[in-house]
Amino acid sequence: MGSRTNSLSRGQVTRYAIGSLGTGGFATLPGLVLVYYLTDSLGVTALAAGAIVTVAKVWDVLIDPVIGGLSDRSLAHTGTRRRAMMLGGIGLPIAFVLTFAVPAGLGPLPAALWVLVAFMLAATCFSLFQVPYIALPAELTDDYRERTRLLSWRVVLLTVAILLFGAGGPELRALFPDDPLMGYLVMAVVAAVVLGAAMLTSASVAPQRPLLPVRPGASIAEHYRDGITVLRESQPFRALLATFLLQGLATGMMLAAAQYVARWVLDDETAVTQLFVALIAPALLMAPVWKLIADRVGKERAFRMASIVFILATLALVAMVWVPGWWIVAPVALAGAAYAGMQTLPMAMLPDVIAYDRSRHAATDAGGQNRSGIFGGVWTAGRPPAWRSAAPC
- Tens digit of pLDDT for each residue in 349-366? 999 998 888 777 665 554
Confidence check: pLDDT of 52 > 80: yes
Confidence check: pLDDT of 393 > 90: no
Quote the pLDDT of residue 80: 86
Distance between CA atoms of residues 160 and 37, nearest Å: 24
Confidence check: pLDDT of 297 > 80: yes
The closest of 166, 170, 344 to 247, measured between CA atoms, is: 344
| Residue numbers of the domain that contains 243 | 10-381
What sign for the dihedral angle of Cα 171, 175, 178, 183? Answer: negative
Cβ neighbours of 77 (radius 10 Å): 11
* pLDDT, tens only, 94-147: 999 999 999 988 899 999 999 999 999 999 999 999 999 998 998 888 888 898
Tell me the pTM. 0.83
* pLDDT, tens only, 182-220: 999 999 999 999 999 999 999 999 887 654 454 554 567
CA neighbours closer than 13 Å in the CB half-sphere of residue 243: 18
The closest of 230, 12, 24 to 126, measured between CA atoms, is: 24
Confidence label for 221 from pLDDT (cuts 50, 70 and 90): confident
Ranked by mean pLDDT, the top range of 142-156, 194-208, 276-290 is 194-208
- The DSSP secondary-structure symbol of 106 reads -
Distance between CA atoms of residues 140 and 362, nearest Å: 18
Quote the pLDDT of residue 384: 60
As a whole number, the mean pLDDT across the chain is 85
* pLDDT, tens only, 157-169: 988 998 888 878 8
Let me know if residue 33 belongs to a domain.
yes
C-alpha torsion angle, residues 280, 281, 286, 288 (rounded to 10): 100
Quote the pLDDT of residue 292: 93
Let me know if residue 393 belongs to a domain.
no
Quote the pLDDT of residue 385: 52
**Element containing residue 62 per DSSP (H, E):** helix 46-78
Total structural domains in the chain?
1
The more confidently predicted of residues 10 and 211 is 10
Let me know if residue 269 belongs to a domain.
yes
Quote the pLDDT of residue 84: 92
Quote the pLDDT of residue 309: 95
CATH number for the domain harbouring residue 320? 1.20.1250.20
Specify burial of residue 229 (Cβ count, 10 A radius: 0-12, 13-18, 19+). Answer: middle
* pLDDT, tens only, 306-320: 999 999 999 999 999
